[in-house]
Amino acid sequence: MDFYASLTPYYPEKEIQELRLAQQGKAIHSLYLNNKVNKETLLSLYPHLKPHPFIENAFYYDEEEYPLGKSMLFNLGAFYIMNAASMLPPYFLSPQKGERILDMCAAPGGKTSVLSLLLGNNGTILSNDISYPRSKENSGNVERLGLGNVVVTSGDFVGIEDNYEDYFDAILLDAPCSGSAMFRKDRRLFDDWTYEKVLKTQSIQKSLLESAAKMLVSGGRIMYSTCSFSYEEDEEIILSFLKRHEDFEAVFLPDDPSFYHHPDLPQGIHLFPHRYAGEGQFLCLLRHKGDKVAHKQEKIHQLPKTLQKPAFEYGLEGYDYLSHQDSAYALPEAMKTPKLSLLRYGVRIGEEKTPFQPDHALASFAKASIPLEKENALRYLAGETFPLQGEDGYAVVSYLGIPLGYVKLVKGTAKNHYPKGLRRRY
Catalytic residue numbers read 227
Residue 274 backbone dihedrals phi, psi, to 5 degrees: -85, -5
* CA nearest to 150, candidates 124, 114, 120: 124
Assign residue 166 a region (left: φ > 0; alpha: ψ between -120 and 50; beta: otherwise). Answer: left
DSSP-assigned letters across all residues of 3-63: HHHHHTTTS-HHHHHHHHHHTTSPPPEEEEE-TTS-HHHHHHH-TT-EE-SSSTTEEEE-T
- Per DSSP, 216 falls in state E
* CA nearest to 205, candidates 248, 160, 175, 242: 175
* Burial category of 6 from C-beta neighbours within 10 Å (exposed 0-12, middle 13-18, buried 19 and up): buried
DSSP H or E segment with residue 200 = helix 195-215
* Burial category of 327 from C-beta neighbours within 10 Å (exposed 0-12, middle 13-18, buried 19 and up): middle
Q: How far apart are CA 86 and CA 52, in angstroms?
A: 13
Question: C-alpha 19: how far from its chain's center?
Answer: 27
- Counting Cα atoms < 13 Å in the Cβ hemisphere of 336 gives 17
Please tell me whether residue 254 adopts helix, strand or coil conformation. Answer: coil
Query: Which residues, at least 6 apart from 387, have a Cβ–Cβ distance to it below 8 Å?
Result: 412, 413, 414
Q: How far apart are CA 331 and CA 321, in angstroms?
A: 7
Cis, peptide link before residue 355, omega less than 30° from 0: yes
Q: How far apart are CA 103 and CA 172, in angstroms?
A: 5
Helical residues (DSSP H) of 50-98, grouped into ranges: 72-75, 88-93
Cis, peptide link before residue 332, omega less than 30° from 0: no
Residue 236 backbone dihedrals phi, psi, to 5 degrees: -65, -40
CA angle 210, 213, 217 (to 5 degrees): 165
